[in-house]
Amino acid sequence: MNSTLKRIAFSLVPVVVLLGGAEAGLRAAGWPEVDSKAFAHNKVYWVTDPDLEAAVFPHKETGGSFIVSTDHNGLRVPRHPEEKAEGMHRVMALGCSTTFGWGVDDDESYPARLESRLKAGGHDDWEVINGGQPGYTTFQGLWLWDRTLKRYDPDVVLIGYVVQDARKAAYTDRSQAILQGESSYLKQHLLYRSKVYLGLRALIGSVQVRAKERGEGDAGGVYRVPPEDYVANIRKLVGKVRAIGAEPVLFGYPLEREGYTHQHRLILAAAAEDLGVRHFDPQARMEEASRRQTLYFERDRGHANAKGNNLIAKWVYDWLEDQGILDTEG
């Protein structure tokens, strides 16, 4: 080692000692003190049980229940093997319980109805993968994509995360992952294992260590996925989808009323323009349609009923046709 390198090495010793002492001291003092109550979910990552066969799930409607069947990865009907058959094309729908089809039977979710419409429309070389999971935001969506979804080799991916990302909770999903020491997250963000680093991030407000109280409805609290994280997650998802040769589409899954999702929908539209990807948001159309007919459950206004799911599938099918995405000739 030459003299210059030796001087640099010796000059770093005090810094290392100082940081090491600070780390040990903060751990002994228990700072930053973490208020770990009121997490949105018990876990940061989850998936529906695999290999369900006509399992009965309870629902809020009076005496309500619905039938759920899943494949070996916990993805709901329509079930297809991971390996795509030669000459076959796939649409994959990503989202939360709204995409999963909470409250409706297997063949009534919008992805299932979309596949039925594809077959009825003469597109026998297209099938649909339901990548929706209850409670998911873009945060869990990125994890599931890397863990499972990319193996299904989709050609078109409808990135439909907006409903849960825009909800308020006591913690952001990212903060919960850090505070609970989620290993799969911390492996990619090793610095969060350091109390010094976590303390600095907490001081500048980019990581919560205290729960934010929620008021009535979605007032108070913090977004599960704040706007800046939402943009970053969408960018990552688009990049990952493009990396396997598939086309990403930013899909603003429609609710009965836009309500609290307004800001995140604007972000989704802006991200589509910035990233040069297609964007489809039938929210305005749904608000008009749902004033004339009952398209959502009476006791669960956040989820479309069978009629609502069928209408969403029709709109998505018509849009795919209009965009020429289903034209696989040549």
Summarised one tens digit per residue, pLDDT across range 191-247 is 565 666 666 666 656 776 677 776 545 567 899 999 999 999 999 999 999 999 999
Tokens of residue 13, six digits:
């010793």
Residues 275-297 have a mean pLDDT of 98
The reported pLDDT for the residue numbered 135 is 97
How confident is the model at residue 19, as a pLDDT?
Answer: 43
pLDDT of residue 26 exceeding 50, the answer is no
Q: What mean pLDDT comes out for the span 32-39?
A: 64
Average pLDDT of the chain to the nearest whole number = 88
- Which of 58-67, 159-168, 297-306, 311-320 has the least mean pLDDT? 58-67
Question: Facing residues of 68 across strands?
Answer: 55
pLDDT-derived band at 286, boundaries 50, 70, 90: very high
Residue 32's pLDDT is: 56
Mean pLDDT value of segment 39-53: 92
55-322 adopts what CATH topology?
Rossmann fold (3.40.50)
Give the range among 3-17, 35-49, 268-282, 296-310 with minimum mean pLDDT.
3-17
- pLDDT tens string 106-151: 999 999 999 999 999 999 999 999 999 999 999 999 999 999 999 9
Q: Write down the pLDDT at residue 34.
A: 60
**What pLDDT is recorded for position 241?**
98
More confident residue, 28 or 77: 77
Please name the residues in contact with 243: beta carbons below 8 A apart, sequence gap of 6 or more. Answer: none
CA distances to 14, 15, 16, 19 from 11, rounded to whole Å, are: 7, 8, 10, 14
Q: How many residues does the chain have?
A: 330
Count CB-CB contacts under 10 A for residue 15: 9
Residue ranges covered by each domain of the chain: 1-30, 55-322
Pairing between β-strand 156-159 and β-strand 168-169 as defined by DSSP bridges? unpaired
pTM to 2 decimals? 0.86
Beta bridge partners of 262: none
